[in-house]
Structure 1
Amino acid sequence: MTSACPTLGPRRNTVRGLVPVLALMGAVLLAGCGKSEDEGKGQRPPPKVGFIVAAPSAVPQPVTLGGRTVAFETSEVRPQVAGVIQRRLFTEGSYVRAGEPLFQIDPSLYRASVNQAQANVASARASADAAVVRAQRLKPLAEIQAVAAQDYTDAAAQARVARATVAQNAAALETARVNLRFTTVPAPISGRIGRSLVTVGGLASNSQETPLAIIQRTDPMFVDMQQSAADLSTLRRKLRSGGLDAGSTQVTLKLDDGSDYPQTGTVQFSEVTVNQETGTVTLRARFPNPQGTLLPGTFVNAVFNQAIETNAFLVPQQAVLHDFDGSAYVMLVGPKDKAGGNKAARRKVVATRTYGASWVVTSGLARGDRIILQGLNGLKHGAPIVPVPANAPQDTTKAPRGGAGGGSGQGANPKQGS
C-alpha cells in the first residue's frame, strides 16, 4: 500500500499538466480556422470598368490670329480743278453713293472758258466752210485748165486745214466743258464719308496734298491677320508630307470686347512676302458687314481651322490622366491572361490640346484599343478588371473603395506603362 502511492502520484500530475497545453492548442486551431473564414469572406471580385473603343477621326486644327479690320474700298476725294469752295453738299458721317455731288467749286472761270471755246469752234467752222466752197469751185476749173492746178491744190489744202482747226477747237471746247463739270466734286465710290477736311471759302487745287474728304466702303470688310512665318512654314511642310489635310477657309471673329461677330468670313489669300520687322505673313479674310458693326482699324481675333489632323483620336477628358511630370497616359483594357481574366494596362500618350470636351491624342493609341473611361479611381497597371462598354450601367456596390491595389491613378509608377 505504501509503495503504490508514490507511483500514482506522478501520473496524476502529468495528466493535470497536459490539460492546459491541449486547451491552448485547440484555441490556436480554432483561431486559425476563424481567420481563414474571415479572409475568405473579405475577398472581393475584380471591379467593373467602362471602356470605349478607340477609333481615329479627322480633327480640325484651329488657329487664333490677331488682326485688324480694313475697309473694302477707300477713296480720297480730291479736286481736279482749282478754285474756291462755294458749298459742301453732303452730311458728314453719312452714306454717299458713287457720283453723288459732294463739293461745289466756283465755276465762273470755267464757264467763261466754255463760252470762249464755243466761239472758237464757231469761227473755225465758218472759215472751214469758206475754204471748202472755194476748193469745190476751183476743182472743175482746174480740170479744164481754166486756172492753174496749183491754185486748186492750195485751196484743197486750206479746206483740210480749216476742218482740222474745227476739230482742235471742238476738243478745246470739250476740255472746257469737262473742267466745268469738275467744279462739282462727285463721290468716286459708294460708302461712308468722314468729316470734311476743307471748309467753305477754302482754296482747292488739283495739286494739293490734303484730300477734301475720305470715303470708306465697309460692307464687305477685310480682316488682315498676322501669322508667324515659322508656323506657316511648318504647316505647309506637314501638308506636303501628308500628316495634315488642308482645312476650311471659313473664319469666325471675336471682337475686342470678347463677343462673337455673328457673320462668318472667308480667307481670301496670304501675302507672298514676310514682314522683315515682325517676321509675320499677312492673311486676308473677307466678312459681310451689313449692319456696320465692324469699323476700320478695329482689333479682332480671327479663328479658323487652318488644317485637319486625319489620324488623331478624340478621347474624353476624364479618360486622360497626367503624371506629376505632366506627361499624359490612359488606362486600357489589356489582353486576357492565362486564367481568362482581363487586367488594366497603362500607356503613355501624346495629348497637347483639347477639342471640345475631348483631348486630341496624336500618338500612343491604335485603332481598336479599349480605353477605360469609368472606374478609374485608384486603378493601377496590372489590376484585374471586368471590362464592360462605357454606356452599360455600372455596379459600383462591388467596387472596392480603394480601387484594385489602392492608390491614385495619377500616382501610378511610370515604369509600369505598357
Structure 2
Amino acid sequence: MKNMYTTPHSFSFFALLFGLVILSSCREEEVKDEGLPLPVISLKETSAAKNFEYVGSIEGVESVEIRPQVDGILEEIYVDEGEFVKKGQPLFKVNSQPYMEDYKNAVANVNLEKAKLEKAQSDVERLQPLIDNEVISEVRMKSVKADYQVALSSLQQAQAQAANMRINLDFTTIKAPVNGFMGRIPKSIGNVVKQTDAEPLTNLSNVNDIYVYFSMSESDYLYFERAKNDTLSNRVNDEVKLVLADGSIYENSGQIDANSGQIDRTTGSIMLRAKFNNPDTLLRSGNTGKILMEEIYPNAILVPQSATTFIQDKKFVFILDENNLAQRREIITKGRSGDNYIVDSKSLSPDDRIVLSGIDKLASGIKVKPIQRGQLTSSL
C-alpha cells in the first residue's frame, strides 16, 4: 500500500508552501531595509483662517409693528400674510362711520363759528364811524372788539377740533409706513381692535438689508479687539459670513456695524450687530443663523487632523528625519482651519515631513518608505 504522504500531489503542496515562506521572508527583509511604506506630506507656510461661530437672530433693518390709531371694528383686510407691500399702501380698514359723523359735526361747528366771527367783524365795522364821530364811547368799541377776539378764538378752536376729527377719520385706513413683507395677521374681519391691544395687527419688515444680532463672551470680545491692531501676524477678517439654518453659507458677506456698548453682567457677554445686503429677500425677520468670523493667519503651518494622535490631552505627529526614521513630536495648536490644525511654529517648521496616515503602525525609530503626497495648501 502506497504511503499517502509520499504522493506527487503532497510533494507539490509542500514545495509551494516552502516557496511562499521564502517569499514572505524576503518581503519582510525588503520592508525592513526600505522601511514601512506610508503616505507622507511636506509642510509649508500658507494662508489659513480660524473660524469662530456665534448663534444669531435675523431682523429686517426696518421692522415695524402695525397698530391701530383708533378703536373700532375691523372692516377690511386688503393684504395677505407674507405679501410684499409698498409704503403708503392700504393694509386694514376700521369702521369709519362713527369718525365720519364726528368729522361732519366738527365741520358744522367750524361753519357756526365762522358765522359768529363774521357777525363780530360786522359789529366792529358798523360801530367804527360812530366812534370816529364821538357818537358812542370808546368803552363800547372795546367791548365789541373783545367779542370779535372771542369769536376768532372759538373759530380756531373749532378748526383744530375738525382737523383732529379728520385725522381720526384718516386713521381708519391703516397704511404701510415702509416697504416690506407682511407678518402674521392674528385678527380677522369683524374683530374689535383698540389702540391698547397687547398684540399688533401685524409686523412689517423691510428686508432689503438685514441685521443679524449675536452675542459673544467677554474674553472673545477682548481677543478680537486686540487682534484688530495686530499687524505682525494674524488679523481678524473685516467681513463676516452668515451660515444659514440648512448649513449653507449666505452668498453675501456682511459687516459688524454696532455693539451694545456694555457687557451683560448676568451672562458675561456683549451683543453685536452685523449688517448684510439682502437683494433677493431670501432672508426674513425671524430667521436664525450663525455668524462666522475669521481670524486670518497669513503664514500658517497646517497639519491634517488625521495625521495626529492623542496621548492624554496632548497632540502628536510623526516626523521623518533625513534617514526616514519616524520620530514622535508633540505639537501646539492654535485652532482649526477646516480639517486641519493650525500649528504653532515652535512645534513644526516649513518643509518638515510628517506621516499622513497609518500612524497606528508607527513608533519612534521605525523606518518609513515615504509615499510623497505633495504639500499641504491653503484652506482659504
Equivalent residue number for residue 260 of structure 2: 271
Cα deviation digits, residues 366-402 of structure 1 (max 9, x gap): 9xx763348999xxxxxxxxxxxxxxxxxxxxxxxx9
Of residues 87, 97, 115, the one that matches 2:104 is 115
**Could you tell me which of 142, 154, 161 is aligned with 1:153?**
142
The match for 2:193 is: 204
Distance 1:245 1:352 in 2: 11
1:243 touches 1:309 (CA, 8 Å); kept in 2? no
Q: Which residue of 2 aligns with 1:93?
A: 82
2:346 is matched with 364
Q: Which of 322, 333, 345 matches 1:351?
A: 333
1:209-254 Cα deviation digits (max 9, x unpaired)? 2322222333322222231222222333455677666523322222
Deviations 1:227-283 (A, max 9, x none): 122222233345567766652332222222222222222222222233444432222
Query: Which stretch shows the higher mean deviation, 144-153 or 345-354?
Result: 345-354
**How far does residue 406 in structure 1 lie from its aligned partner after superposition?**
4.5
Match of 1:29 in 2: none
Is structure 2 residue 121 aligned with structure 1 residue 139?
no
Equivalent residue number for residue 3 of structure 1:
none
The SS at the match of 1:371 is coil
Q: Which consecutive residues of structure 1, in runs of 5 or more, have no partner in the other structure?
A: 1-42, 45-49, 335-342, 378-401, 410-418
- CA 1:172–1:191 in 2, change beyond 3 Å: closer, same or farther? same
Tell me, yes or no, if structure 1 residue 106 matches structure 2 residue 95: yes
Distance 1:149 1:140 in 2: 12
Which one scores higher on RCO, CA 8 angstroms, separation ≥ 6?
Answer: 2
CA distance in 2, matches of 1:196, 1:344: 69
Opposite residue 123 of structure 1, the aligned amino acid is L
Specify the code of the residue in structure 2 equivalent to 1:313: A
**Where does the alignment leave 5 or more consecutive residues of structure 2 unmatched?**
1-32, 35-39, 370-380
> Is the 1:330–1:372 contact (alpha carbons within 8 Å) kept by the matching residues of 2?
no
Question: Aligned AA for 1:285?
Answer: A
Structure 2 CA distance for aligned equivalents of residues 375 and 175 of structure 1: 83
- SS of match in other structure, 2:80: coil
Supply the distance in 2 between the matched residues of 1:375 and 1:298 (Cα, whole angstroms). 44
Matched to 2:352, the amino acid is: I
Alpha-carbon separation, structure 2, partners of 1:195 and 1:72: 18
Aligned to 2:152: 163
Match of residue 297 from structure 1: 286
Letter in 2 for 1:76: E
CA distance in 2: counterparts of 1:370 and 1:104, whole angstroms: 72
Shift of the 68–207 alpha-carbon distance from structure 1 to 2, 3 Å rule, reads: closer
Q: Is the 8 A contact 2:53 2:290 kept in 1?
A: yes
From 294, 301, 309, the equivalent of 1:314 is 301
1:130 corresponding residue in structure 2: 119
How has the CA–CA distance of structure 1 residues 192 and 313 changed in structure 2, closer, same or farther, with 3 Å as cutoff? closer
- Of stretches 162-171 and 206-215 in structure 1, the one that deviates more from structure 2 is 206-215
Paired AA for residue 301 in structure 2 = L
- Contact 1:347–1:364 (CA under 8 A) maintained in structure 2: no
Check the 8 A contact 1:104/1:183 in 2, yes or no: yes
Matched residue of 1:209: which SS?
A: coil
Q: Determine if contact 1:60/1:308 at 8 Å carries over to the other structure.
A: yes
Deviations 1:315-368 (A, max 9, x none): 5659x876856445786999xxxxxxxx999986533334468653434179xx
The aligned counterpart of 2:17 is: none
CA distance in 2, matches of 1:253, 1:241: 24
Q: What corresponds to 1:252 in structure 2?
A: 241
Partner of 2:178: 189
Q: Which residue of 2 aligns with 1:35?
A: none
CA shift digits 1:17-44 (9 cap, x unpaired): xxxxxxxxxxxxxxxxxxxxxxxxxx99
- Number of paired residues? 326
Aligned to 2:51: 62
In structure 1, C-alpha distance between the alignment counterparts of 2:366 and 2:326, rounded to whole Å:
14
Q: Which residue is equivalent to 2:4?
A: none
TM-score normalised by the chain length of structure 2: 0.70
Q: Matched residues in 1 for 2:63 and 2:144: separation? A: 57
CA distance in 2, matches of 1:102, 1:268: 33
Matched, 1:175 2:159: no
Cα distance in structure 2, aligned partners of 1:85 and 1:370: 73
Aligned Cα root-mean-square deviation (Å): 4.0
Letter aligned with residue 141 of structure 1: L
The CA deviation string for residues 116-164 of structure 1, in whole angstroms up to 9 with x for no partner, is 1111111111211221222233334324423211112222222222222
Q: Distance in 2 between matches of 1:112 and 1:370?
A: 87
Instruction: Give the Å deviation of 1:52.
Output: 7.7
Residue 20 of structure 1: aligned partner:
none
For residues 383-402 of structure 1, the aligned pairs below 5 Å read: none
Say whether the 8 Å CA contact 2:303–2:343 is kept in structure 1: no
Task: Give yes or no for the alignment of 1:224 onto 2:213.
Answer: yes
1:75 pairs with 2:64: yes
